[in-house]
Structure 1
C-alpha cells in the first residue's frame, strides 16, 4: 500500500568519468571478454590481474576500476574512440603488450571464440599495430594455451 502512495524514486545514475588511458584499456578488456556474450569469472579475474599489474593497484582497487570500466563499456563510445585514447597516451611497444593482455582475457575461459577474435582484431587494428605484430600476439597467446 505504501509503495503506491510513496513510490520510490530511482536514483539518478552517476555520470561516467571521461575516459583516460586507464579507463580505455579496462573498457576494451571488458569488451573483449563480453564479445562472446558470456562474461565468465575467469575473464573477470584476468582483467583484474591485468589492471592491477599494469597500474600498480591493489586487488580491491583493480576490481573497482573494472566495475567502472564495465559501466563505461556499456555506455561509452566505440572501440575506435577508446583505441585513439590509447594511441595518444601509450607508446607503440606498450600497445603491443596490451594486445597480449587482451588475448589473455579472450582465452581466460579456456575457449576460443570467433566473436572475441573478431573484436580483438578490430581493437589491435584500431591501436595501430602492424599486421606482423597482430599475428605475433595471436600466435604467442595460442601457443601459451
Structure 2
C-alpha cells in the first residue's frame, strides 16, 4: 500500500501514428523555426501515410507535451517493425531538408532519433541520400 503512494504514475503511451507526427514536428522545430515549407511536408507525409488530416494538430500538441524524444520513439518502435523504419528516417530527412537549410541542431537531432529508433548512423546517411536524390 505505501509503495503505491511513492511510485511515479505510469505515462500514457501515445498512439504510434501521433508519435510519428510529433517526431516530424519536433525535427522541424529543432532549429528554432517551424517553417511553412516544413509544415507542408509534414502534412503531405501524414496524409500519404495515414490519410488523417487531424494528425498534424495532434502531433503538434503531443510534441509540446512530450518531455523527451525517447517517449516518442518508444511508441514508434513498439508499432513499427525494424525493417520498416528506414522510410520513417527518410520522412524525417524530408522535413529537415524542406526549408533548404540544414544546421548542426538538425544533424544532431537526426543522429539521436536514428539511434533511438534502433537505426545506425549509416542508415540515416542512406535515408538522407535517398531523399536528396529524389529532389534531384
TM-score when normalising by structure 1: 0.79
Pick aligned residue for 2:31 from 32, 36, 56:
36
Consecutive unaligned residues of structure 2, counting only runs of 5 or more, are 1-11
| Counterpart in the other structure of 1:113 | 103
Pick aligned residue for 1:46 from 37, 41, 47:
41
Q: Report Cα offsets for 1:5-49 as digits up to 9, x if no partner.
A: xxxxxxxxxxxx851110110000000000000110010000000
Instruction: Tell whether 2:70 aligns with 1:80.
Output: yes
| Counterpart in the other structure of 1:24 | 19
Q: Report the Cα distance in structure 1 between the residues aligned to 2:67 and 2:85, rounded to whole angstroms.
A: 20
Bigger Cα Rg? 1
| Counterpart in the other structure of 1:90 | 80
Q: CA RMSD in A?
A: 1.6
3-state SS of paired residue (2:98) = coil
Return structure 1 stretches of 4+ with deviation > 4 angstroms: none
Cα distance, 1:135 vs structure 2? 2.1
Asked if the contact 2:85/2:117 (under 8 Å) is kept, the reply is yes
Instruction: Kindly tell me the number of residue pairs found equivalent between the two proteins.
Output: 124
